[in-house]
Structure 1
Amino acid sequence: MKAQFGRAVRVVDDANRPAFMKARGVPQDLASCHTAIIDGMTFEGHVPIADMKRALATHPKGVTGLAVVGMPMGSPGMEMPGMKAQAYDVIAFGLSGRRVFARH
């Protein structure tokens, strides 16, 4: 399938998601509801597209992915009219450990 921005997209409903996420280096406590792999980087959960673009453009040393834990209200896909957005962090993870990549 061809995506809007010229990238090929393949959707996989993996019956063994925990093993898949472990193979991608996603720490168990950062696991969420879905995973995207773009240009070798792993994005777990409701990571804002602007943060994904920044990570892909800068390739921070030692970072293999970004994650948003859970489904915070106000994160991409979780916007609800009349509901107050929750504060949440985007966590960078990888060979250099983990750190806050962005706060929303």
Structure 2
Amino acid sequence: MKSIRMLATALALAIPAAAMAAGPIVVHRDPGCGCCEKWAAQARAEFKRQMRMVDDANRATLSARYGIPAQFVSCHTAIVDGMAFEGHVPIAEMKRVLAQRPRGVAGLAVAGMPIGSAGMEVPGTAPQAYSVMAFGPAGQKVYSRRIGAK
């Protein structure tokens, strides 16, 4: 009987998490930004979820609400399962942080628009090195260092 109650509790806790993960990805972007569309297409393909693009001329308010440090601001912000992803964050890093949910991390950011990052691939041009930064109540730290999108 005790094992049935434990199983029922585990299922009850798992259902809301699964339901939350099935929600759409919402991307707030600078109006008319073309590289955001390229990044979003990659994210949509990798996550296999619906995505809603929002042209947002006042993204500063969104950045403040999610605690995105000013030095990390880029051209778009994606909200995925309650976490914020600023700029051209590699999809693999998004999946990793969503799976790990490190304490004190509200999201990841890639400042600027590094050549070769997700959505910023330029044929014939060497990709730039860049840092994927974690931010949140625990502060800011380098989550990973990358060259290119993969």
What is the rounded CA distance, in whole Å, between the counterparts of 1:18 and 1:37 in structure 2? 15
Alignment coverage as a number of residue pairs: 103
Give the structure-2-normalised TM-score.
Answer: 0.64
**Aligned residue in 2 for 1:90:** 132
**Aligned residue in 1 for 2:117:** 75
Higher strand share: 2
Shift of 1:15: 2.6
From 68, 91, 97, give the equivalent of 1:55. Answer: 97
Q: 1:46-87: per-residue Cα shift (whole Å, max 9, x none)? A: 000000000000001100000000010110111111111110
Structure 2 residue 75 is matched with structure 1 residue 33: yes
What is the rounded CA distance, in whole Å, between the counterparts of 1:12 and 1:59 in structure 2? 26
- Does the Cα contact within 8 Å between 1:14 and 1:20 map onto a contact in 2? no
Task: Note the residue ranges of structure 2 that are not aligned, 5 or more in a row.
Answer: 1-23, 25-43
From 40, 54, 63, give the equivalent of 1:21. Answer: 63
What is the rounded CA distance, in whole Å, between the counterparts of 2:54 and 2:119 in structure 1? 19
Local SS of the residue matching 2:71: helix
**Aligned residue in 2 for 1:12:** 54
**Aligned residue in 2 for 1:100:** 142
RMSD: 1.5
**Aligned residue in 1 for 2:9:** none
Shift of 1:17: 1.0
Q: Percent of aligned positions with the same letter in both sequences?
A: 58
Task: Note the residue ranges of structure 1 that are not aligned, 5 or more in a row.
Answer: none
What is the rounded CA distance, in whole Å, between the counterparts of 1:22 and 1:71 in structure 2? 20
Amino acid at match of 2:141: R
What is the rounded CA distance, in whole Å, between the counterparts of 1:69 and 1:18 in structure 2? 15
Local SS of the residue matching 2:104: coil
